[in-house]
Amino acid sequence: MHKSEELFTRAQKTIPGGVNSPVRAFKAVGGTPRFITKADGAYIWDADGKKYIDYVQSWGPMVLGHNNDKIREAVIQAAANGLSFGAPTEAEVIMAEKVAEMVPSMEMVRMVNSGTEATMSAIRLARGYTSRNKIVKFEGCYHGHADSLLVKAGSGALTLGVPSSPGVPASVAEHTITVEYNNIDSVKAVFEAEGEDIACIIVEPVAGNMNCIPPVEGFLEGLRKICDDYGSLLIFDEVMTGFRVSRGGAQERYQVLPDLTCLGKVIGGGMPVGAFGGKREILTHIAPTGPVYQAGTLSGNPVAMAAGLAALEQLQDANLYEGIFAQTQALADGFAKLADKHGIPLTTNVAGSMFGIFFTEEKRVTNYQQAINCNTEQFKKFYHGMLEQGVYLAPASYEAGFVSKMHDASVIAATLDAADKVFGSL
Ligand SMILES: Cc1ncc(COP(=O)(O)O)c(C=O)c1O
Ligand SMILES: N[C@H](C=O)CCC(=O)O
């Protein structure tokens, strides 16, 4: 691990915390982050040449696995024609058509450069469209790092103990109301009190930033009804779930249609991309057709569009999702069985190709409180044991795990062999 250690020491001199995104710093688990040199299929390699089975998959984008040959070729071809034009291209039109075809509620789409931009812009649109200021989000859900959404947020903000970040003015945060995920009564109560002032509810339809917590039955339907009753917009943040928990995202999987959808990760095939969209009636309020301003120099970048289109193209394969979902379930079931064999209390959650492991006595984990009450010390030991065995999990217990097409039966079996040894050593 010399090279990663050397690089980390060097990085900390010129990059805050040595990383460009906080969760990567291994603060939650301790030790040295692995600096990565290459990735292929289900695997990544660190700077010291050690190979790992990777369940981070760049935090979700790599639903086809790393270094997919068709995406790589599309990027090379697009790059040969120039990297950015700041003018429209046909690829953007094809991308919008493809997204509208695949995601049930999306009639119109605007491309941006990250998930953060997508959620920030969708919130602005919801506020502009409804002429209301307040927004409702769920404790432990993470929607990127825009000011109004960094209130009781998940992911690194939760891991580092700053769910409501300093630097967000109180005058901004006061418009964000937080309620409990999977608790429809907490949402009803807020709407009964101030529903006429609420522009939107934004929700991760499967929460993936407080570990992995799928919606309980009726929860998403309940949100839809409340929004309809009060004239508020329902925003699904499908940055993580889009094209992952089903071809058409969580809205297809759970059959609940939002007014606006935010996308990222898979839609860029690994390039920096995001998108937001939804009903035509609402999207036409965006500039230049409407007054709500939103823009981006690099938005719809031709290289990113080529990567995203090559990814979406391959998602049409009829058997793809069934295969990945089966491997994800086999992995989670395997973890549960092995933990049981070694007397370790463990609960697992699965939603499509996302999974979560919780070191807890609870038989079912459905909310934030249960997620944060898990045994983090045991997770840390498990984490380092797995790393030692060559399995790279997210270096924080509040992150979902991701399985790709390339995690075949042999990869899952190798992971479970490693887990058997590690559970046995806890
Ligand atoms: C659900 C969700 N929304 C939004 C974001 C923000 O995306 P990005 O990191 O690309 O800004 C993330 C991930 O970071 C996410 O998981
Ligand atoms: N949970 C985050 C995204 O989904 C993790 C990525 C990051 O913050 O760097």
pLDDT tens digit string along 202-248? 999 999 999 999 999 999 999 999 999 999 999 999 999 999 999 99
Q: Cβ(409)–Cβ(42) under 8 Å? A: no
Instruction: Look at the block and give the residue holding tokens 């907490």.
Output: 186
Averaged over 64-79, what is the pLDDT? Answer: 98
The pTM (predicted TM-score) of the whole model is: 0.98
Averaged over 343-359, what is the pLDDT? Answer: 98
46 is catalytic: no
Ligand 1 and 143: CB distance under 6 A? yes
Residue 333 CA to ligand 1 center (angstroms) comes to 27
Within a 13 Å sphere around the CA of 351, how many CA atoms are in the beta-carbon half? Answer: 29
Instruction: Look at the block and give the residue holding tokens 């697009």.
Output: 78
Q: Whose CA is nearest to atom 4 of ligand 1?
A: 143
**What pLDDT does residue 141 have?**
97
Residue 276's φ and ψ, nearest 5 degrees, are -135, 155
The region of weakest confidence among 6-10, 104-108, 317-321, 353-357 is 317-321
pLDDT at 283 over 90: yes
Integer Cα distance of 33 and 20 in angstroms: 12
Instruction: Look at the block and give the residue holding tokens 């009903």.
Output: 279
pLDDT tens digit string along 4-56? 999 999 999 999 999 999 999 999 999 999 999 999 999 999 999 999 999 99
Active-site pick, 129, 142, 321, 398: 142
pLDDT band at 419 (very low <50, low <70, confident <90, very high): very high
Look at 263 and 155; give whichever has higher pLDDT: 263
Q: Cβ(405)–Cβ(323) under 8 Å? A: yes
Averaged over 142-163, what is the pLDDT? Answer: 90
Domain with CATH 3.90.1150.10 in the chain: 2-63+318-425
**What pLDDT does residue 160 have?**
86
**What pLDDT does residue 162 have?**
81
For 386-424, the DSSP string reads HHHTTEE--SSTTS-EE--TT--HHHHHHHHHHHHHHHH
Could you confirm whether domain 69-314 is CATH 3.40.640.10?
A: yes
pLDDT band at 163 (very low <50, low <70, confident <90, very high): confident
Q: Average pLDDT, whole number, for the chain?
A: 97
Residue 143 CA to ligand 2 center (angstroms) comes to 9
Coil vs helix vs strand at 111: strand
Q: Whose CA is nearest to atom 2 of ligand 2?
A: 155
Coil vs helix vs strand at 13: helix
Mutate to test the pocket of ligand 2, among 158, 399, 402 (most ligand atoms within 8 A of CB): 399
Q: Whose CA is nearest to atom 6 of ligand 2?
A: 59
Relative to beta strand 198-203, strand 401-402 is unpaired
Q: Which atom of ligand 2 is nearest to the CA of 142?
A: 1
Averaged over 152-166, what is the pLDDT? Answer: 87
DSSP symbol at 213: B
Domain 2-63+318-425 is in which class?
alpha beta
Return the percentage of the chain with pLDDT > 90, whole number.
96
Integer Cα distance of 292 and 128 in angstroms: 6
**Is the peptide bond prior to 61 cis by the omega test (within 30 degrees of 0)?**
no
pLDDT tens digit string along 218-227? 999 999 999 9
> Own/partner pairs for 2-10, CB < 8 Å, 24+ apart?
2/48, 3/35, 3/46, 3/47, 3/48, 4/32, 4/33, 4/34, 4/35, 4/46, 4/47, 4/48, 5/32, 7/35, 7/47, 8/32, 8/33, 8/35
Averaged over 126-151, what is the pLDDT? Answer: 96
**What pLDDT does residue 417 have?**
98
**What pLDDT does residue 42 have?**
98
ipTM: 0.99
Averaged over 302-327, what is the pLDDT? Answer: 97
pLDDT at 1 over 80: no
Ligand 2 and 263: CB distance under 6 A? no
